[in-house]
Amino acid sequence: MFVPRSVRSKGAPFQKKSEPPATKTNSGNDYGASAKNETSRKSAPTVNDLKIPKDATINTDSENLDTLLSGIELIFTDYAQQDPEGSKWLSQHYRSVGSEENYIHFSAILEHPNISTLKPAPSQLSLRQAIESGQTKTLELAAGGYHVRRKPSTYPLSHIPPGASSLCNDDGVKYWDERTIYVEPHSRHFCRTPARVAYWLSHHGQLREKWLPIQAVLPLYNSCAFVVLSGNVTHADMLQKWIGKGVPKDWRILSKAEHSKRTEEYLELLQNRNSKHTGGNAKVVQDEAATRERTHMKFSDHLKSKADSGDKEKYSEPDRDSNDVDDVSPVIPPTTEKKKRKRTAKKKSSASKPVSANDSEQGESLATSADLETDNPKSLRKHIKLSHHNAPEHISEPSAKSAKVTKSKEHVFRGKKMKFDD
């Protein structure tokens, strides 16, 4: 029976017991009422009441310990000791116990990614139980029971040369790449825990003896990973024979060389599909790019020429031909034109007013009086106002003396120093 993954992850629901019928009592005493309430109470469900599907797998203690042991062995493999990151982690956590060296405490083991990703989270006691279970041939405990190391007699393995990470075959394939396979487990998020992948392959994968032990599990995503074995898997006949067994069940397995080949084919197919989607004409794309580049260059040249000209465009003189008149005045900014026009208008208005002879004579007498000899500005303002308002009406053009008076008025109202000419 197929059970969806989402249903299995939520657990199996239990059925509530049906309520027993309440007993009827004819007596109306308190004892009968309390007995009725006791019989009507709901009974709490027990473990035996839970219905577990037949196809559901229950993780026993032995399976958890074997998974934990697989994760510990991955920390001390030949690949880990030759890998830069793995060797660095080991050298940082090596401790000496008595006269023995290269031990690692359980507290550091629990922090390693191979162990810290397991659920339920293991403890130091479970680490000790997994190692003492007798399933390992490469690990040993210290006297205190909380330090572990790889047996010196098992490192390195006889068929793995020292410095294997830098070796290549005649085709340029690296040593460990010849021993790497690509796996997609039967369950999503399975590759989050490298220890579980190693356990399933070693216990349910029916691997050949020369492929054991598993050297490393390198997760790519949560659903796939590279697994490094101890033996060569480039022989197509042996690999296909093992893959044909279909173990582990519902796993997809490829060699790393086959995985790289299919990746290149997929990328090439994707590129061809994209080119067909754009019309398959690369020249059109190039022409469009060239047109955009030319347009951009023209626009940038226009901006550059405009920036170089600066203020010359605002105040530049008009182009002259040989037939033009030489005395053409330059272009004047509009702001200065307005100011000059206002000033000339004031002068014209003051000059166009008619002045009478009596007023002019009176103004002259006032301007030439003894008050002008003083420096009192108030008396000067009075004389100037009288000379301005009492001007003769029949004179169209002001005389020289009245012009001096108006000039002095301008100086007074502008707040400048007053100068009077005789």
Q: What is the pLDDT of residues 165-208, one digit of tens each?
A: 889 988 888 999 999 999 999 988 899 999 999 999 999 999 99
Burial 1-18 (b: 16+ CB within 10 A, else e): eeeeeeeeeeeeeeeeee
Q: Please give the C-alpha separations between residue 232 and each of 99, 180, 235, in angstroms, as whole numbers.
A: 38, 8, 7
Question: Tens of pLDDT along 126-180?
Answer: 999 999 988 899 999 999 889 999 999 998 898 898 889 889 988 888 999 999 9
pLDDT band at 106 (very low <50, low <70, confident <90, very high): very high
Does any domain span residue 327?
no
Decide which of 243, 259, 275 is a domain's last residue. Answer: 259
| 102, pLDDT greater than 90 | yes
Give the domain range for residue 87.
61-154
Mean pLDDT of 71-75: 97
Q: How many domains does the chain have?
A: 3
Give the CATH number of the domain where residue 242 resides.
3.30.70
Question: What DSSP line would sit under 393-410, residue for residue?
Answer: SSBSS--HHHHHHHHHHH
Residue 239 lies in a domain: yes
pLDDT tens across 48-58, in order?
443 434 433 44
- For the stretch 275-291, pLDDT in tens is 776 655 555 555 666 66
> Model confidence over 342-376: pLDDT tens digits?
555 444 444 445 545 455 445 444 444 445 445 55
Please identify, among 216, 232, 259, the residue that sits at the C-terminal boundary of a domain: 259
The C-alpha atoms of residue 41 and residue 29 are separated, in whole angstroms, by 20
pLDDT band at 44 (very low <50, low <70, confident <90, very high): very low
- Domain presence at residue 284: no
Do residues 420 and 372 touch, judged by C-beta distance below 8 A? yes
User: Which helix (H) or strand (E) element contains residue 139?
Assistant: strand 139-141
Of 123, 154, 185, the residue that ends a domain is: 154
Question: Which residue's entry shows tokens 């659920």?
Answer: 119
Residues 181 and 141 in one domain: no
